[in-house]
Structure 1
C-alpha cells in the first residue's frame, strides 16, 4: 500500500505541476496579448497634465484605457501571486532565494508595477514592459514538456522538443524586438506602429535591411545591436543541437503516427538485419496485389538503414507508404512506436545469408513471443530456417520453414525435373508480360504462362465452375480448362476440420459449398471481363499448343495408364503400415527376387526433431547397421567401396552438402541416394542422424568434397546431382556462391549430360551457372535479361537456361510465398501438399510423365 500510495503521489505531483505550468503559460500569453491591444489603441499623445515634456517622456508614459488597466492589473495580480506561492513552496519557505532567481525578478518587473498603480492613481499610465512575459511563458512551456515526457502522458520525440525550443526562442526574439523597437521609437522622429516594427525586425534578421525603415534614436539602435548579439549566442547552439538530433532521428527512424484517415491499414515487418534485396522483394510482392495498394508498411529493425535501402525507400512508389522505425521488437516501446496493436498483420522475417541459422531462429522465436505478448490479436506471418523450431511458433497464422520447403523442393526436382522452376514462377506475382518483346518464340510462351497464379472461389459463387455442381472433379477440371483456360487443381469441402485435397479424382463430386482452387492468369472476376483480351494473348501461345498437340493420341493413352497407376498408389496411403511394398505375398517378389519384401510403408520410426510432418515412406522393417551407411568404407556386412560395385538397378542421386540437415514412390522405382558431406576427416554425422537414415533403404553417405569423391559416389552413372549450400557469410556478399559455381562448372565440363540441381544464395548469380564466354546465345540472353530488368520485371533471371530447365534454385525465392499469404492464406497449404510436406487421405500428389516422340 505504501508503494502504491507513493507512486500515486508522484503521479499526482506530475499532473499537478503540468496543470500549474499550463495555467502559467496561459496567463503570460494573455498578458502579452493585452500589451499588444494596448499598443494598437494607444493614441501616442501624452496626457494633458504633462505640459512640460520632452521626447523621453514618451518612453515612461503611455495611453491606457481604464478597462484595459483593470484587466491588466488583475492578470498581473494573479500571475504574481501564483509565482510567489509556487516559488515559496519550491524553495521550502526560504524567502531570500526568491530575490536571486531571474524568473522571479522578471516577474516582479512585469507584474509588480500594476499592483502599485492600485494605490497611486497617477501612475496608472506608467509604462510597464509586459512583453517580457513571453520569456516566462517560454520557460513554463519547456517545463511543461518535461513533465509530459517524465509522466509518459504524451510521448514526444527529442526532435520535437528541440524544434519547440528553437521555435519558441525565435518567437520570443522577434516579439521582444518588435515590442521594444516600437516603444523606443516613440521618442524618435519616425514612430513605428506594431506591424512596421515587426516588418523591420524580420527584415533585419533575414537580410541586412532595405533601408526604408530604420531606427533614428541611439536607444533603438542599441536595442537592435543587443538583439542581434543575443540571437548570435542562442540560435547557433540550438541549431547545432537540432541538426544532431535530426541526423540521429534519420538513423533511428521515425514513429509511425498513422495515416490521414482512420481507415488506413498498416502491417509491421520485423527483421534483425535490413538488406536491400530482401526489402525490395517484400515490397514488390506485397504491393503487386491490388488489395494492398493503400496499406502502409512499417519496417521495424534494430539495424541502421544502409544507403541502397535508404535510396529504395525514397522511390515515389514507397516514399509515402513505407516507414522505417529503428528498434528491437523485444521492447514494448518500439512496438508502440510502430503501432503494432493497430496493425493488420505482423511479418517476422529472418535475415538472409546468416552463418548460424539456429541462433537466428532463436531470435525469431523471441520476437514472435514478444509480438504475441504485446498484441495477441495481431496475425503473425513467421519465417524460420530449421524445422525443429516450428514447435515454438505454432501460434503463428502462417509459418514458413525454409529448410523444410527447400529440401522438399530439391527432392521433388529429382522426381519431377523442372518443378523448382514451376513452383518458383507460381509463387511470384506476375502479369505475364515477361518476354513479350523477345524475338524468341519460347520466351513469349514461357513468359506469358509465368503469369499463372492460384486462386480460390466458392463453387456456388463461381461462373466458371457453378455449372459443374453435382459432377465429378475430373469432369469439372477438364471442362473448365477446355472452355476458359483455367486449371482446377484442388478442392475443400465445407465439413468441419476438412482438408484441402489435390485432384481427388472422379470419386469426388463437386458440391455447392465446396471451395475450389484453380490456376489461372488472373482471378475469375477479372478473367470474365478480360476474356476478349485473353483470346488475343492466347494467340501468342500457339507454339505451346502446337507442341502440346504432338503425340496427342499416344499421350492420352500414356496419361490414362499413369493416372490409373497413381490412383492405385494413392490408396496405398490408406493401407495399414506393415504391409508389403509391392505385393501381397510377403515371401517372394518377381521383379527383384526378394529385396523389396524387407520394406514396408509406414511413418519414420526415428525422427530427428519434434514436430516433423507425418509422411508415409518406404521404410526398412529392420534398420541397417550404422557401418553399412558409409559408402566408401567396407565393413563386415558389405565389402564395397564405390558406387559401381553395388550394382544398383536404378541410377543414384548424389546430394552434395556442406553439412547434414534432413513422397511417395513405387518401391522398384526408388533411386539410391548418396550424401556427399564436406565434413572433417575425423568427424562423422551425428548419431541421431545416422540412426534416422538407417531405416531408409538405399541411402549412403561418404566424406569428401564434391570434386574429390564424385567418381567413387557414382557420378558417371548418376541420375541427378544436387548441390546444396547450407549457409553463406555476410562478409562475402555476392561472392558467397563463388566456390559452388566454380565446382558446378567443373562438373558440367566433365559430365555435360549430367542433370545437376544447384542451390545458390543470390538469384543474380544464376547467370554464371553453366557459363560459356564463347557462346553467342548465352551473351544474347544476358542482353535480353538487362532489357527485362529495365522494364521493371521482378524475375529477369527467369529466361536463363539453367533456371528455365530447373537446374538452379535459390531458397530466397521461397520468401515470396510468405509475403502473399496475407492475401492468399491457402497458398502455403497448397504448396506443402504439392511438395509432399503434408499429406491428406484421398489427395493426389505431384508426379511426372515422360513423353517420347
Structure 2
C-alpha cells in the first residue's frame, strides 16, 4: 500500500495498519469521505463475524458437553453389560494386514520394474569391460519380458535360483543385492505378523473387509452350532445368484465345532466370524453395518433367564438402529411380552416361544398341521431312492414352499377360485391366498382364500404353494395364446367332473359354529401379546377350587403335562374361535404345583380348563390324570430343571436337558401300548436330535434304509434325518430350532410372517377392521375327513368340487397308517398330485371360511 493512502487512513480512522481488497491506485483516487465509509463498513463486518464466531463456539461447546455426557452414560451401560457377559474389547489386526499389502503392492512390483529397467537399458558387464579396454563386442543389456522378470524375482526370493536367468548389469546386480538384504530383514517379521493376524482373525477379533458382494450380519450368542449352520445354509439356499455372504457377530468365542463347519469349502469364503457385544460402535464398524443388506439378532434358547436375554437383545436392537437406521433389523425374541418394545424399529419379529406353543396346540387340534407349516417354510432336497412308499409321498410334499408371485395381467377380472383351480390343474401350484392392494392407502392386505365371489384386480399378488421357482417363472411369463390354449385343455379335462356332488356342511360333517354357552372375544391381557379371537365364558370362574380335580376318568380331555404355567398362548390357541364350539375338548393341566392366584386369573376366562397336581414321570399320577381316556397328551416345559452335574453338549444346548421329557414320553407310550390304546402324544424337545429316543422299537429305520432315504449326506453340517423321522412327519414333535427358518424366510419374503400369523389364527384389530371394510370373511386352516363320495376318487376331483362348489382350497393330506404304504404312523402329504387316489382314512387340510359350509 502506498504511503499516501496509508497516511490518509491513519488521519481519518486512527488506524496503524489496514488491509483491504483494493489496489493502491484505487485507494489513491478515493476521497476522504469514501475512505472513511469503506473502513467503517469493514470494521462493522469484522465485529459481526467475531460475534457469530463466539456464538457458534458457545453452541459447539454446549453440544460437545451434552454429547460427552450422553456418551459417558452409554459407555457405562455398555461396560455393565460387558461385565455381565465377560466380553473383551476387540484387538485391531488391520495394521499388520496393511503392511503386508504394502509390501505386495509397492515393494515387489517396484523391485521387479527396477531390475527389468536396468537389465534392458544398461550395458552388461561384458559390454562395460569392452568399453573400458576399447575392444569391440556386445554392449547392450538383456531383453526380459514381464513374465520372465517376475519369474526371476520369485525364484530369487524363494532361494531356489535355477540360474537360467541372471543379472548381467551392475545396477541389476545391485537391485538384487538390496532386495535380498531387504527380504532377510523384513520377511521374517512380516511372516510372524501375518501368522498372528490370521490367528487373531480366526478367533473373531478382526475386521470384515467389504467387497462388491451383498452380505448379512447375524448377531447373538452363536454357540449352538446346529442352529447357526442351518440358518446360514437356509440363507444361501434362497439366494438365487449365489453371491450373498454372512458376517457372524458372536458374544462368545467361536467353538471348535462351529470352526470346523465354517472351514468347509462351501462356507469358508462366504462366512466371516467376529466376536463382539453388538452394543459398541466399534463392533458395528468392524462388521460394516452401514452397508449390510440386513441384520439379524438371535435369542439364545439356552439362556437361563429368558426375560434378561430379551432385554439385552432389545438394547442391541436399539444400538443397531441408532448406528445404521437404514439397515433392516430382523429380531428374534423368546417371550411375547417384550416384542411390543421392538415393533417400531424391527422389520420382522419372531417370537420363538409363541410359535412353539401355537404349533403344539395346532398339532393337538389337527394332527400333523405343525409339520405341514414347518415344511412349507424350509423345503427339503429331492431324493431319488426310497424303500417304503410313504417316504416317497412325504418327500414329494416336503419339497414344497410358500412363494409370493405378482398377478399375471391375464388373470385380472377372473375369480380367485377359478385361477386357483387352473394353476393347480396345469402347474400343480396351489393358490391359497393373496396380497390385496388398497389403492387409497397404497398398502397390501393379506387375505386367505377370498373365495368364489372375489375377482382379482390389478395390483394383487398371489400366495402359492409350489415345489420350485422355475414353475413360477412359467406362470409369470404365460402369454395370452398359451393361457387360452391351456384353459381350453383344462376345461375339457374337467367336463367329467361337472356332475357336481352336492357338497354341503352335512356332507363334510360340519355343524353350526354358534353356541350360546360361550361368547367370542379377546381374553384379558396384561401384556400386548398377539392372541386370536377366543371362546370365552360369559362369567369367568371365581374360585380356583372349582377347577381343581383329584381324578379325571372319562373326561375325554387334552392332558397337558408341564412343570410351569407358561402356556397361555397354547391355551388361547386351543380356545380359538375358528374351532367349532362343540368341538372344544376339556383341557387338564397336570403340574407338580397348583397355580397361584395370578396364574389362575390368566386362564379363568376360558371354558373347560381344569388343573390337577401330579408329575409326568410317575405312572400313578398319569392314571389319576386320566391318561387312558385322554384325546391327546402334550408334554411341554419339562426340560427346565437341568441336573447341576450335567455336562453341556458342544453346541451349547444341553444334550441331557430333554431327559425328563423323553422318559415321560416313553412311559406314556409303554402304558398305552400295554392297555392296547392309541393315544397320540405331542412332545416339545429342546434339542431336536433327541427325536431318535422317542418311542423306541417302533419307528427306527434300519441303517441301510436310512442311507438310501437320505441319499448322499453332506459332510459340512447336520443331516436332515430327523425331518424324515415318523415322529416328526406325524406332527408328534416340536422343537424351537425347527422354527429358525421363519426369520430368514421373513427377510426373503417380508409378507411371509403375516401369512403364518393368519394361518395360525393371529389377527390384529386393524386387520380385522380392513377385512370388514373389504367384506372379506376370515378364512382359516382346518382339517376335514374325506367325504364318502370321494373315497377311491382322485385328489384332483376333490379339489375341483371343493374349490368350484364351496370355495374351499385343499392344500394337503394326513394319511393314516396303511399296510400298502408301509407307514407305522400317520404322515403329512403337502400338495398331492391331481391323480392321487384318496382313501377313507385320509384327512384333508383345507383353507376355508366358516360360511363355506353353511346351507
If the TM-score is normalised by the length of the shorter chain, which range does it land in?
A: 0.5 to 0.7
Residue in structure 1 matched with residue 552 of structure 2 by the alignment: 643
Q: What's the offset of the Cα at 1:785?
A: 4.9
Seen in structure 2, the aligned counterparts of structure 1 residues 5 and 163 have a Cα distance that, compared at 3 Å, is farther
Seen in structure 2, the aligned counterparts of structure 1 residues 206 and 267 have a Cα distance that, compared at 3 Å, is closer
Comparing 313-322 with 706-715, greater Cα deviation is found at 313-322
Matched, 1:402 2:352: yes
SS at the partner of 1:740? helix
Seen in structure 2, the aligned counterparts of structure 1 residues 205 and 383 have a Cα distance that, compared at 3 Å, is closer
Q: What's the offset of the Cα at 1:344?
A: 1.6
Could you tell me how far apart the structure 2 residues matched to 1:316 and 1:356 are?
37
Could you tell me how far apart the structure 2 residues matched to 1:769 and 1:796 are?
14
Write the deviation string for residues 556-596 of structure 1: whole angstroms up to 9, x where unpaired.
Answer: 56685456x4xx64xx7xxxxxxxxx14xxxxxxxxxxxxx
Could you tell me how far apart the structure 1 residues matched to 2:55 and 2:93 are?
28
Q: What's the offset of the Cα at 1:429?
A: 2.9
Write the deviation string for residues 272-304 of structure 1: whole angstroms up to 9, x where unpaired.
Answer: 224321222112211222445222222222322
| CA contact 2:387–2:705 (8 Å) conserved in 1 | no
Give the alignment of 1:295-374 within 5 angstroms.
295-374=244-323
Residue in structure 2 matched with residue 445 of structure 1 by the alignment: 393
| CA contact 2:405–2:472 (8 Å) conserved in 1 | no
Match of 1:600 among 491, 505, 519: 519
Q: What's the offset of the Cα at 1:330?
A: 0.7
Residue in structure 1 matched with residue 741 of structure 2 by the alignment: 816
Could you tell me how far apart the structure 2 residues matched to 1:553 and 1:657 are?
52
Matched, 1:656 2:562: yes
Q: What's the offset of the Cα at 1:402?
A: 0.7
Q: RMSD over aligned Cα, in angstroms?
A: 4.8
Q: What's the offset of the Cα at 1:661?
A: 3.9
Q: What's the offset of the Cα at 1:399?
A: 0.9
Q: What's the offset of the Cα at 1:819?
A: 0.8
Match of 2:529 among 589, 597, 611: 611
Match of 1:157 among 94, 98, 122: 94
Which structure 1 residue ranges, 5 or more long, are not aligned? 10-154, 179-184, 215-223, 532-548, 573-581, 584-596, 632-640
Could you tell me how far apart the structure 2 residues matched to 1:803 and 1:168 are?
57
Matched, 1:412 2:337: no
Could you tell me how far apart the structure 2 residues matched to 1:758 and 1:659 are?
16
Match of 1:268 among 217, 223, 228: 217
Q: What's the offset of the Cα at 1:688?
A: 2.6
Could you tell me how far apart the structure 2 residues matched to 1:199 and 1:485 are?
61
Residue in structure 1 matched with residue 751 of structure 2 by the alignment: 826
Matched, 1:742 2:663: yes
Q: What's the offset of the Cα at 1:199?
A: 13
SS at the partner of 1:346? strand
Residue in structure 2 matched with residue 491 of structure 1 by the alignment: 434
Residue in structure 1 matched with residue 472 of structure 2 by the alignment: 525
Q: What's the offset of the Cα at 1:798?
A: 2.5
Match of 2:603 among 662, 678, 693: 693
Seen in structure 2, the aligned counterparts of structure 1 residues 528 and 602 have a Cα distance that, compared at 3 Å, is closer
| CA contact 2:638–2:660 (8 Å) conserved in 1 | no
Q: What's the offset of the Cα at 1:376?
A: 1.2
| CA contact 2:201–2:274 (8 Å) conserved in 1 | no
Residue in structure 1 matched with residue 456 of structure 2 by the alignment: 510
SS at the partner of 1:490? strand
| CA contact 1:159–1:246 (8 Å) conserved in 2 | no
Larger RCO (CA within 8 A; separation ≥ 6): 2
SS at the partner of 1:748? helix
Residue in structure 2 matched with residue 282 of structure 1 by the alignment: 231
Could you tell me how far apart the structure 1 residues matched to 2:99 and 2:194 are?
6
SS at the partner of 2:233? helix
Q: What's the offset of the Cα at 1:751?
A: 0.9
Matched, 1:244 2:196: yes
Q: What's the offset of the Cα at 1:444?
A: 1.3
Q: What's the offset of the Cα at 1:666?
A: 2.6
Give the alignment of 1:12-23 within 5 angstroms.
none
| CA contact 1:477–1:487 (8 Å) conserved in 2 | yes
Matched, 1:770 2:682: no
Q: What's the offset of the Cα at 1:165?
A: 9.4
Residue in structure 2 matched with residue 845 of structure 1 by the alignment: 780
Q: Normalising to structure 1: TM-score of the pair? A: 0.63
Residue in structure 1 matched with residue 713 of structure 2 by the alignment: 789
Could you tell me how far apart the structure 2 residues matched to 1:817 and 1:159 are?
41
| CA contact 1:158–1:245 (8 Å) conserved in 2 | no
Compare the two structures and name the one with the higher helix fraction: 1
Could you tell me how far apart the structure 2 residues matched to 1:212 and 1:765 are?
66
Match of 2:648 among 723, 731, 736: 731
Write the deviation string for residues 737-787 of structure 1: whole angstroms up to 9, x where unpaired.
Answer: 2332222112101113111011122222222211218x8855665444554
Q: What's the offset of the Cα at 1:815?
A: 0.8
Q: What's the offset of the Cα at 1:235?
A: 6.5
Match of 1:721 among 615, 633, 647: 633
Q: Normalising to structure 2: TM-score of the pair? A: 0.63
Matched, 1:798 2:723: yes
Comparing 727-736 with 496-505, greater Cα deviation is found at 727-736
Residue in structure 2 matched with residue 182 of structure 1 by the alignment: none
Give the alignment of 1:439-478 within 5 angstroms.
439-459=387-407, 461=408, 466=411, 469-471=413-415, 473-478=416-421
SS at the partner of 2:433? strand
| CA contact 2:588–2:609 (8 Å) conserved in 1 | yes
Could you tell me how far apart the structure 2 residues matched to 1:780 and 1:742 are?
28
Write the deviation string for residues 780-837 of structure 1: whole angstroms up to 9, x where unpaired.
Answer: 6544455463599963322221111111121211110111222211211111111113
Write the deviation string for residues 491-519 of structure 1: whole angstroms up to 9, x where unpaired.
Answer: 33212466322223334333343322222
Seen in structure 2, the aligned counterparts of structure 1 residues 205 and 741 have a Cα distance that, compared at 3 Å, is same
Q: What's the offset of the Cα at 1:163?
A: 3.6
| CA contact 1:604–1:619 (8 Å) conserved in 2 | no
| CA contact 2:560–2:633 (8 Å) conserved in 1 | yes
Residue in structure 2 matched with residue 428 of structure 1 by the alignment: 378
Which structure 2 residue ranges, 5 or more long, are not aligned? 1-52, 62-91, 116-124, 133-139, 145-149, 167-175, 479-495, 569-575, 772-776, 787-839, 842-855
Seen in structure 2, the aligned counterparts of structure 1 residues 314 and 237 have a Cα distance that, compared at 3 Å, is closer
Seen in structure 2, the aligned counterparts of structure 1 residues 376 and 235 have a Cα distance that, compared at 3 Å, is closer
Q: What's the offset of the Cα at 1:600?
A: 1.9
Match of 1:669 among 576, 583, 587: 583
Could you tell me how far apart the structure 1 residues matched to 2:349 and 2:733 are?
25
Seen in structure 2, the aligned counterparts of structure 1 residues 226 and 850 have a Cα distance that, compared at 3 Å, is closer
Seen in structure 2, the aligned counterparts of structure 1 residues 316 and 200 have a Cα distance that, compared at 3 Å, is closer
Could you tell me how far apart the structure 2 residues matched to 1:159 and 1:314 are?
23
Could you tell me how far apart the structure 1 residues matched to 2:163 and 2:418 are?
92
| CA contact 2:710–2:720 (8 Å) conserved in 1 | no
